[in-house]
């Protein structure tokens, strides 16, 4: 099923925009939006309409279709589904043909993205049961971009997920530069990113990396303990069957022993081999290597780190200036990119030395 989902996956180059507006803008900050930012931005004179999208990982227990149970997580566990929590105003930011669908989204409904639908094997009419006894009915399957790249979308009245505000979508009048300046003034020194349709593969937060749905399509899906979804939970305990089937340890050039997802290991090995054979091994310090497999959340966030899939690698452990210089060396970035690994050096909050899966390798 994972392979079928991957084969059917296509990158969406543009996302939904307000049906009656030409000027659309996405605003996001690292971690979460500051409390009350949506209301403050809504009051700006340039803003016509605005929606705040919340996100979190909902604990899915089982799925049921007409023929019975499609899948059930092992006892005491649940699958984490990246869930977009939408308010009524979101209906103005999807294609006109689907506006009424989103406007009518109720507490017992769920909209599923195409990638998640293929991965789960569920369609319209199926039910999804979440921890706490919440059962939602699938009302539609839509392009991932229509729900901000999420796996599923639920109404703000739903109680299936612990979520935080992650991005703003708005329609506005006047010059974009003036609106951006007004928002920057509200945020002070806090880093912020603005995107219009076409400036990112999907209008969503953290748009430099793949959404969780696409990571699952390539690397599979693990269940977590129900305790891992509780407020304050830190570490993650992935189900043993997924770990056994997907994580492997091998000895690689330059770094030595590395534990990664088997689907990433060839790319990392290829990149390191190319660096060594090109005389660029000095750009990677084995003593600064921080690993690949690491079941955790992104620091300061509810989101799961790509390290939880063994789908990212950290090459820089120290603050030494030499390390930072090497991690942003164009020669290193070029090699890693050819092997499908994107760098964190130009993220909203830069993370030089972090490389994670973005695409299949395209070596010379």
Q: What is the pTM of this model?
A: 0.91
Same domain, 156 and 266: no
Q: What is the mean pLDDT of the chain?
A: 92
Place of tokens 């977009």: 84
Query: Domain for residue 333, yes or no?
Result: yes
How confident is the model at residue 154, as a pLDDT? 98
Cα–Cα distances in angstroms (integers) from residue 66 to residues 17, 124, 139, 152, 346, in the given order: 35, 10, 14, 20, 47
Given a cut of 50, is residue 48 above it in pLDDT?
A: yes
Coil, strand or helix at 172: strand
Tell me, yes or no, whether 224 lies in a domain: no
- Res 22: pLDDT: 59
**Residue 223, in any domain of the structure:** no
Q: Which two tokens stand for residue 313?
A: 């690698």
CA dist., res. 280 & res. 190, Å (int): 36
pLDDT at 233: 79
| CA dist list (Å): 336 to 13, 61, 241, 287, 347 | 23, 37, 30, 19, 16
Q: What are the backbone dihedrals phi and psi of residue 94, each rounded to the nearest 5 degrees, phi first?
A: -125, 165
Tell me whether residue 227 is in a domain.
Answer: no
Instruction: Tell me: do 133 and 193 sit in the same domain.
Output: yes
Token look-up 């319209």 returns 124
Helix or strand or coil: residue 51?
strand
Q: Which of 188, 216, 244 is the last residue of a domain?
A: 216
For 59, 117, 198, the CA distances from 112, given in Å and listed in that order, are 15, 6, 23
Same domain for 153 and 81: yes
Q: Is residue 286 predicted with pLDDT exceeding 80?
A: yes
State which of 216, 245, 264 marks the end of a domain.
216
Domain that holds residue 138: 2-216
Confidence band (pLDDT; 50, 70, 90) for 232? confident
Of 278, 354, 260, 218, nearest to 269 (Cα)?
260
Judgement on whether residues 170 and 86 belong to the same structural domain of the protein: yes
Query: In this structure, is residue 151 part of a structural domain?
Result: yes
Confidence tier at 172 by pLDDT (50, 70, 90): very high
Closest by CA position to 300, among listed 203, 218, 191, 224? 191
- State what percent of residues in the chain have pLDDT above 90: 85
Same domain for 128 and 249, yes or no, is no
* pLDDT over 50 at 97, yes or no: yes
3-class state of residue 121 by DSSP: coil
Position 234 scores a pLDDT of: 76
Statement: residue 159 has pLDDT above 50: yes
Please report whether residue 228 resides in a domain: no
Residues 327 and 262 in one domain: yes
CATH number, domain containing residue 283: 3.30.1380
User: In terms of domains, do 209 and 250 share one?
Assistant: no
Share of the chain above pLDDT 70, in %: 92
Do 338 and 280 meet the contact criterion of CB atoms below 8 Å apart?
no
Rounded Cα distance between 243 and 257, Å, is 18
The answer to whether residue 363 is domain-embedded is no
Residue where one domain finishes, among candidates 216, 245, 271: 216
- Same structural domain for residues 209 and 241? no
What is the enclosing helix (H) or strand (E) of 308? none
CA–CA gap between residue 306 and residue 35 (Å, rounded): 26
Do 112 and 171 belong to one domain?
Answer: yes
Domain contains 230: no
Q: Are 186 and 309 part of one and the same domain?
A: no
How many domains is the chain partitioned into structurally? 2
The answer on 256 and 199 residing in a single domain is no
Are 201 and 280 found together in one domain?
A: no
- Contacts of 99-107 with CB under 8 Å at 24 or more apart are 99/19, 101/139, 101/140, 105/139, 105/153, 105/154, 105/155, 106/155, 106/157, 107/155, 107/157, 107/158, 107/159
């Amino acid at each position: 099923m994972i392979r079928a989902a991957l084969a059917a996956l296509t990158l969406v180059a543009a996302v939904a925009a307000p049906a009656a507006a030409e000027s659309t803008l996405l605003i996001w900050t690292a971690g979460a939006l500051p409390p009350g930012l949506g209301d403050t931005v809504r009051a700006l004179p340039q803003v016509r309409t605005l929606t705040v999208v919340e996100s979190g990982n909902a604990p899915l227990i089982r799925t049921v279709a007409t023929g019975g149970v499609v899948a059930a997580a092992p006892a005491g566990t649940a699958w984490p589904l990246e869930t977009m929590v939408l308010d009524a105003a979101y209906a103005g930011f999807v294609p006109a043909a689907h506006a009424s669908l989103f406007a009518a989204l109720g507490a017992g409904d769920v909209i599923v993205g195409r990638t998640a639908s293929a991965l789960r094997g569920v369609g319209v009419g199926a039910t999804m049961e979440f921890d706490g006894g919440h059962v939602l009915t699938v009302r539609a399957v839509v392009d991932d971009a229509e729900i901000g790249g999420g796996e599923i979308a639920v109404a703000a009245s739903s109680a299936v997920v612990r979520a935080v505000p992650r991005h703003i979508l708005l329609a506005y009048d006047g010059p974009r530069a003036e609106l951006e300046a007004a928002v920057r003034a509200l945020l002070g020194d806090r880093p912020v990113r603005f995107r219009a349709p076409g400036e990112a593969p999907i209008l969503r937060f953290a748009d430099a990396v793949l959404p969780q749905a696409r990571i699952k399509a390539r690397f599979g899906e693990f269940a977590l303990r129900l305790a891992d979804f509780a407020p304050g939970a830190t570490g993650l305990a992935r189900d043993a069957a997924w770990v056994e089937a997907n994580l492997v340890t091998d000895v690689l050039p330059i770094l030595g022993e590395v534990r990664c997802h088997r689907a990433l290991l060839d790319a990392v090995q290829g990149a390191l081999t190319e660096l060594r054979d090109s005389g660029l091994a000095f750009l990677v310090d084995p003593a600064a290597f921080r690993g690949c497999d690491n079941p955790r959340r992104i620091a300061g966030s509810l989101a799961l780190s790509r390290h939880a899939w063994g789908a990212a690698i950290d090459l820089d452990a120290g603050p030494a200036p030499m390390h930072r210089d090497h991690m942003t060396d164009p020669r290193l970035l070029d090699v890693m990119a050819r092997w499908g690994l994107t760098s964190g050096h130009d993220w909203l909050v830069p993370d030089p030395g972090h490389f994670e899966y973005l695409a299949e390798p395209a070596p010379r």
